Amino acid sequence: MSIALHLDPEVCYRALITRDARFDGRFFTAVRTTGIYCRPICPAPTPKPAHVTFYRSAAAAEAAGFRSCLRCRPERAPETTLSTGSARLVEQAMVLIAEGETGEGNDEAGLAARLGIGERQLRRLFQSHLGASPKALAQTRRNLLARQLVAETDLPLTEVALAAGFGSLRRFNTVFRDLYGRPPSEMRRAKGRQAEPGLVLSLPLRPPYEWAGVMSLLAAHAIPGVEQVSPACYARVIAVEGQYGTVEVWQEDATSLRARINFPALRMLPRIVARLRRIFDLGADPVPIDAWLGQDPALAGLVVLRPGMRVPGAWDPFELAVRVILGQQVSVAAGSRMAGWLATEFGTLVETRVAGLTALFPPAVVLAAVAPDAISLALNMPRARGAAIVNLARAVVETPGLLMRGDGLDIAQRRLCAVPGIGPWTAQCIALFALRETDAFPVGDVGLQRAIGLPATALAARAEQWRPWRAYAATHLWMVALGLSPAPERISHEDAVA
């Protein structure tokens, strides 16, 4: 079944005529007379209505036999997170495919098993939401990443093929000839070697993006030695399958961030890019979120002051969860310092090209083997908190999917609260930052209560009207609690407009 049947051709064509950036990434236009598919913002002459078909995803267009446009570059289209109903399963599958944990989606039976559904149901959901199979989506992601590496880097083509996930250079060349009618060597613009080391790539997003606010929250929670945050750049040490490197991210323009990746194994690039997108919440669609939250007078001024505010995530969900436990009943700054000490005491010290990045955070398998008293003594904190960290580490080792987004907020909270030492506040914070649950809301957080001037019971009632975007409301209120945004009642009309 063609996904084009789910799109309104008249609406899509009007967006195409006006090159409306709000529709960028929401659909792709396939031109039957040329065999090419484009983004709605493509500068090419607008084709006639009789010659076009609209698809919801690039994978659907490629599965129908169209090749991507060389002018508008579909690989630079922003992605939007699916977050409701059966789309949650599709989103979870897309995360697994993006991080390369299922053989790039080629093993559809294995992917379905990971999600706890049948293979046939998985394909049906993908067709319904994306118009393509999991295998087609994985292949399109691989092809578009290769295209991006050819266009934006000076990597040798053999390394491009490896980084994008092709089995061989011959296969890479064959796919490019089939998709673009020419070998990749003819698509590469002449460019000199980059002056600095590392692979530099663009990370598309859907504007607006509140870069300053996101960086402020990342800086407040940064783990010394593991992360380094300035107003202009976020940097951290990363580890994937026993190897380590660094990433640095900064804002490129209104529609993208830019990342410098230093990592020895190029085949890990898709996983690294997927995790960076998670840290900066690049799958969010800020316009409807802001419009929904802005209906509440208590949040309206905050939304206007910081349009496009995101919920910062984490490189590693376990690292983030431990950071949340360390932050129980202490200040944000104290929690960050303790996380830094934990990395120094139980992590791995490393040498990097980035000043200040000196340690890898200890993985779950390491902390699971540590005595709770050892953590408590090393960090000078209550034994119960050290025990909670060890209990969480052991639970993650025993159940690797514990910190993967899955069956919804309520089930995630029950699973987390089953770990000794984790209560509702901790579980909600983990769900919010690590599991990317958009409706997570730690109503017992004192900072949130003070920011809006309501006790827990009244705050819980007020937050009902913010569903399903309570996590974004919490982010705005935490900015107030940290002194990074003015209190809601202090925002004048003039300030909001300005």
Whether residue 445 lies in the annotated active site: yes
Yes or no: say if 198 and 260 are a contact pair by the CB < 8 Å rule.
Answer: yes
Residues found in the chain: 498
3-state helix, strand, coil in the chain (%, to 5): 50, 10, 35
Yes or no: say if 107 and 93 are a contact pair by the CB < 8 Å rule.
Answer: no
80 residue type, one letter? T
Provide the 8-state DSSP code for 107. Answer: -
Q: Collapsing DSSP states into helix, strand and coil, what is residue 488?
A: helix
Print burial letters for 437-448: b (CB count within 10 Å at least 16), e (below 16): bbbbbbbebeeb
- Helix or strand (DSSP H, E) at 302: helix 297-305
285 residue type, one letter? D
- Helix or strand (DSSP H, E) at 293: helix 286-293
Cα-based distances in Å from 62 to 68, 141, 245: 8, 11, 34
The Cα–Cα gap between 110 and 93 comes to 11
The Cα–Cα gap between 174 and 180 comes to 10
Q: Collapsing DSSP states into helix, strand and coil, what is residue 282?
A: coil
Residue 242 CB coordination number (10 Å): 6
The Cα–Cα gap between 450 and 445 comes to 9
**Residue carrying the six token digits 């505010």:** 309
Treating both helix axes as pointing N-terminal to C-terminal, what angle do 169-180 and 157-164 enclose, rounded to 10 degrees? 90
The Cα–Cα gap between 408 and 422 comes to 18
The Cα–Cα gap between 111 and 103 comes to 9
Catalytic, out of 281, 290, 439, 445: 445
Whether residue 429 lies in the annotated active site: no
Yes or no: say if 325 and 388 are a contact pair by the CB < 8 Å rule.
Answer: yes
DSSP string, 178-198: HHHSS-GGGTPPP-PPPSSSS
Catalytic, out of 12, 38, 72, 429: 38
Give catalytic residues, as residue numbers: 38, 445
